[in-house]
Structure 1
Amino acid sequence: MSSIASSMAIHNAMLREHPELLARLYQPFAFDRRHEEAPGQAPYTMTHVFSWHNGRLFNRYIRSFINTAQRFPDAPRLAPEDIAALDQFDACTQDPRFRIDMELAPGDMQFLNNYVVLHSRTSYEDHPELDRKRHLLRLWLFTPGLADVPESFRLRYLLTDAWAKNPRPPIYDVNQIMGVATH
């Protein structure tokens, strides 16, 4: 199941209903780079959940990346008001006013602008047989309309070329990301 939500509609609802919490989402948060930093870079980056740039509103939100960045001793700590703002944002992503769920079938395509649409998916069980395994491809398209983005967003994609030359499977196990032994 794929879920999408309008971060712009969530922004406007929070502006009306919780402006004090929305204001915090305009301040930078530490985002875990999940081992995708270049040599000499910090293992986290500072990014705003919401940013205005050249008259356009942008959004970048992955709560798990914010939470796991807290494992780094020099990352700014989340204050209670930060957690309240993030929790309210999360609650809005579950609100049917802003969210649509859809079941993707083989052959379906989903194109989203990550700067204005939030997306997630439910967990799944894969088949053990190779010919029945789930096959999902992710494609990042950079259109002329997205050439001018906030600096903190642009920094996230500096490693795209390096990663393409030396790809690695993504890490989805939170224990592995956090460096917790699982045996």
Structure 2
Amino acid sequence: MACRSAFSDRRGQHGRAGAAPVTSERATPACVKQTCNFSEGALWDALIGARPEVWRFEIPLPLLDPAPLAEVFASDWPAIVRSDIVLDAEDAHAAFFARVEQALAQGPGFALLSRIPVEALSLREARLLHIILSKRFGRLRPQDVSGSFLCDVVDSDMSGRMHSDDQIALGRRWNNLPCHTDHAFGRDPPRRLAFLCFRAAEVGGAVRLASAATLLARVAKMGPHLVEDLRRPVPFDATRQIDVSDDAVDAVAIVGSDTGGTRLRYLNHQIAHARLDPRQREAVGALEMALAEPGLVAELMLSPGDVLFIDNGVVLHGRGAYRNRQVPHTPRHHLRLWLS
């Protein structure tokens, strides 16, 4: 995977309403209820993929009218990034934005918006439209120390190790990414993620989604003490940092909380496993076993133009293996934004 940054501002800082939870989990263990605080709609499993009415929203066509957008497309991108320009939020579309916000804040923690007509846009125009749409749901966050706000996630389908001495990821394909949260060992992880599918792979490449609430419920069933052990800080392996300039912490708890409730910070590959104590090793192992259980992870196939919003501490995400088209310069291409 190559993450090419764009829109760098070096002057900057370094469901539907009322939708019921969708899950086959019969009950949340008492120990999870006592120690974790998730919204009611956050408990779900793979079956949510068959309930698009909970997470899929059609973008109103007037929002994508090219006439009012022409001035935006002609603007300088740094001005768009720093400005308060967003897609029209007049009364005609307020209900749409409210439903999406409801799905993110009180529902499953993710929402798929269909769709931006990328086939009629240049890459630059798609980037700008993605930005002004996403700014409706949070403040843009830089993704590296240079101040890049947008990352072009362009993935090859070549096999290979991430590091020459990598044993944990041995044989793992770059395009077969396990579920994780973004910037797990960063000092201030983004609260939300926004992915625009600009180009899909020829075969495969589903987005994997896992509910943190359901994941912890399954871990608790293996042993009530395991969730509490996940609240103890785990060490970060700096040699596994993709960007050495990132501002990372030395250790952080996988299960934490803020004013919004319980949140996860998890990227197994970057944990210094050799420095875990026996109880932490057992707890992280239980988390991995739960993630591997059938029926936990939902898979969504994004089509070009689809925009996927994810609550980064409530929903883990990954991607399935895929094969690109055998045509030069047409790899799978998503545009990623971080929001706070």
In the superposition, the TM-score normalised over structure 2's length comes to 0.35
| CA gap 1:100/1:116 in 2 versus in 1, 3 angstroms | same
The answer as to 2:250 corresponding to 1:52 is no
> 1:88-103 to 2 correspondence within 5 Å?
88-103=286-301
Structure 2 residue aligned with 1:107: 305
Aligned counterparts of 1:30 and 1:59: Cα–Cα separation in 2: 15
Aligned to 1:28: 233
* Superposed displacement of residue 35, structure 1: 5.0
Match of 1:10 in 2: 215
Report runs of 4+ in structure 1 exceeding 6 Å deviation: none
**What's 1:141 paired with?**
339
Are 1:118 and 2:316 matched, yes or no? yes
Distance 2:254 2:293 in 1: 19
Cα shift at 1:133: 1.8
Match of 1:164 in 2: none
After superposition, the C-alpha distances for 1:102-134 in whole angstroms (9 at most, x for unaligned) are 222222222111101011112333345344222
Residue pair 1:32, 1:44 contacting (<8 A) in 2 also: no
CA distance in 2, matches of 1:2, 1:77: 31
Letter in 1 for 2:277: A
Per the normalisation by structure 1, the TM-score is 0.61
* Rounded Cα–Cα distance in structure 2 between residues aligned with 1:53 and 1:105: 34
* TM-fit CA distance, 1:11: 1.8
- RMSD between aligned residues: 2.6
- The answer to whether the 8 Å contact 1:8/1:116 transfers is yes
Which residue of structure 2 aligns with residue 172 of structure 1?
none
1:64 to 259, 265, 269: 269
Equivalenced residues, count: 133
Matched, 1:83 2:281: yes
Indicate if the aligned counterparts of 1:27 and 1:48 stay in contact, CA closer than 8 A: yes
Deviation, 1:9, is: 1.9
Structure 1 gaps of 5+ residues are 71-75, 143-183
For structure 2, which runs of at least 5 residues remain unmatched after alignment? Answer: 1-205
Query: Which SS does the other structure have where 2:215 is aligned?
Result: helix
Kept in 1, the 8 Å contact 2:208–2:300? The answer is yes
Amino acid at match of 1:47: V
Name whichever structure is richer in strand by fraction: 2
Report the CA distance between 1:96 and its aligned residue. 4.3
Tell me, yes or no, if the aligned pair for 2:222 and 2:286 is still in contact at 8 Å: no
CA deviations on 1:115-170 (whole Å, 9 max, x unpaired) are 0101111233334534422211111111xxxxxxxxxxxxxxxxxxxxxxxxxxxx
